[in-house]
Amino acid sequence: MKVAAFIANQLARTRTPVFFYPGINLASLDVALEKAGARTIVLASENAIPHACSGFFQATGKVGVGIVGSGPAATNLLTGLATASADKIPLIAINVTIPLCEVGTGAFQDLDMTATVKPLLGESVYCREGKELYGRFRQALHSSHSSTKGPTFIGTSPDALEDDIGEPSFFIPSIETFQPKVITTTPSKNSFSRLEQSLQVCEDLFDFFVVGNGLNKYEVLRSLPGKRFISSDRFGCMGFGLPAAIGVSVGLNRSVILFIGDGDLIMSISELATLLRYNIPVKIVLLNNHNFFAGLNQIREKNGLRVPCFENPSFQELSNAFGLKYFYARDTDIRTCLSEALSFSGPALIEVPCTITIQSSEIKAIRNFILQNTLVGIQSHIGRKEAVYARVGGESSPLPTIEQEVSL
């Protein structure tokens, strides 16, 4: 059996979806995956692949597998790999490079991506031959199922995929019991309270969601105590939310709710095409304040600058173009829109007009909080005097007061 066929059959037999982006050098894998009956999800961009793998792992405890081609296809993985690495999320990224005879010659799309990502990841190898690729892939599937490990990067050549490895044995990889993060915030009483009330009344509709990055993230987390959530914690990566929600929905085979800001959604807008392609039931709650990280506005204002109000595309027309059912929710409507959006099987976008603002002193507290912690358990309000937090693997300790933070 050729290595490409082994990889494809191993993934098909264990019903592991493959997050994939085609390229000429991985044609043999593409064919083998199809012949083996593997579930292949072609994302709109390679950027999204590690995030999708990350969401998949956090929802299922099974390691996600991403496969991409040479040159720019591989470099597109970089931010996602760094994001997963920061949160120690295991995944396997396979990069099929140009043919061996061209490697290192400066040929079209010649790039040593294995060396590029090495400082970033625990494991980064290049397999020139089929036997090595077979061994590394087996090993990665066996050992990657640990939430302390982070991503494994396997570079290889089209030649290695064509090598014959005799009659390999297939196996069932173990599954990590992933401990979901749980929000233990108590609701805040500030400017977001209308959003908060709406979210609280819709609590009974779901128990688990994905959240993007931006100020809206903290408001959503404050507003949903006791809920499980998935986010990019230590990297705070914009562009994570939508692909991660795709990974969750593919992994659990059910609807998932994503809370996301307008800036973040626009950054990953191409993945709406993936929702359309596979009718993936991600229900996007878009918190649209026509702005990015609105807290910075206060600093602009202090410096006599104008507060920008970004022109956004019509999200209604965008939804129509991408086949999403569209809802416009005034703050109090979110519950109704969500229950309607959850009552059918396709993707949906619920636009929530917002005016999100936050004190700049809070920004500093939040930033330090993110730098020092994973959001494993937040009690009370983020950035407020009475807040406490849980250190990774350690005891809970009090968050410094805002006054202390600001004077740091």
Ligand X SMILES: Cc1ncc(C[n+]2csc(CCOP(=O)(O)OP(=O)(O)O)c2C)c(N)n1
- Residue ranges that bind ligand X, judged by CB under 6 A: 212-216, 236-239, 261-264, 287, 289, 291-294, 356
- Distances in Å between the Cα of 100 and the Cα atoms of 27, 157, 162, 341 are 15, 6, 12, 50
Q: Indicate the residue among 31 and 307 with the shorter CB distance to ligand X.
A: 307
Least gap, CB of 362 to ligand X (angstroms): 13
Distance set, CA 105 to CA 116, 118, 151 (Å): 17, 21, 28
Sequence length of the chain is: 408
Site of interaction with Mg ion (CB under 5 A): 261-263, 289, 291
Shortest-Cβ-distance residue relative to Mg ion: 261
140 binds, among Mg ion, ligand X, none (CB under 5 to 8 A by kind): none
What is the closest distance, in whole angstroms, from the C-beta atom of residue 287 to ligand X in the complex? Answer: 6
- How near is the Cβ of 294 to Mg ion at its closest, in Å? 7
Q: Which residue is associated with the tokens 């959850």?
A: 342
Measured CA to CA, the distance from residue 55 to residue 64 in angstroms comes to 9
Do residues 313 and 376 make contact, with C-beta atoms less than 8 angstroms apart?
A: no
User: Judged by CB, which is closer to ligand X: 94, or 237?
Assistant: 237
Residue 312 Cβ vs ligand X, minimum distance, rounded to whole Å: 9
Select from Mg ion, ligand X, none the partner in contact with residue 243, using the beta carbon and a kind-dependent cut-off of 5 to 8 Å: none
Nearer to Mg ion, 54 or 291 (CB): 291
Give least dist CB 241 to ligand X, A. Answer: 9
213's contact among Mg ion, ligand X, none, with CB below 5 to 8 A by partner kind, is ligand X
Tell me whether residue 8 or residue 237 sits nearer to ligand X (CB atom): 237
| Minimum CB–partner distance for residue 47 and ligand X (Å) | 10
DSSP letter at 305? Answer: P
Nearer to ligand X, 78 or 252 (CB): 78
In terms of CB distance, is 182 or 296 closer to ligand X?
296
Smallest gap from Cβ 263 to Mg ion, in A, equals 5
- Nearest alpha carbon to residue 206 among 254, 140, 264, 153: 254
Q: HSE of 61 in the Cβ direction (CA atoms, 13 Å)? A: 8
Sheet holding 181-182, edge to edge: 181-182, 228-230, 208-211, 256-261, 282-288, 348-353, 325-328
The nearer residue to ligand X, 47 or 319, going by C-beta atoms, is: 47
By beta-carbon proximity to ligand X, the closer residue of 53 and 366 is: 366
Q: How large is the C-alpha radius of gyration of the chain?
A: 22
CB of 356 to Mg ion, least distance (A): 7
Residue 238 binds which entry of Mg ion, ligand X, none, CB below 5-8 Å type-dependent: ligand X
Please enumerate in sequence order all residues whose Cβ is within 8 A of that of 89, keeping only pairs 6 or more positions apart, or say none. Answer: 53, 54, 57, 58, 147, 150, 151
Binding at 257: pick from Mg ion, ligand X, none (beta carbon under 5-8 Å per type): none
274 contact choice in ligand X, Mg ion, none (CB below 5 to 8 Å, kind-dependent): none
330's tokens: 């005034």
DSSP 8-state secondary structure symbol assigned to residue 25: G
Residue linked to tokens 């929600």: 245
178 binds, among Mg ion, ligand X, none (CB under 5 to 8 A by kind): none
Alpha carbon distance 9, 3 (integer Å)? 10
Question: Residue 204 CB: number of other CB atoms within 10 A?
Answer: 9
Nearer to ligand X, 218 or 327 (CB): 218
Q: How far is the CB of 213 from Mg ion (least distance, A)?
A: 10
CA distance 82 to 295: 26
| Alpha-carbon torsion angle 114, 119, 120, 122, nearest 10 | 80
Q: Nearest Cα to 5, choosing from 145, 174, 133, 139? A: 133
In angstroms, what is the minimal distance from the CB of 297 to Mg ion? 11
Count other C-beta atoms under 10 Å from residue 56's C-beta: 30
Could you say which of ligand X, Mg ion, none residue 215 binds, taking C-beta under 5 to 8 angstroms by partner kind?
Answer: ligand X
Pick between residue 247 and residue 261 the one whose CB is nearest to ligand X: 261
Which of ligand X, Mg ion, none has residue 151 at its interface (CB below 5 to 8 Å by kind)? none
Please measure the distance between the N-terminal and C-terminal CA atoms of the chain and give it in whole angstroms. Answer: 62
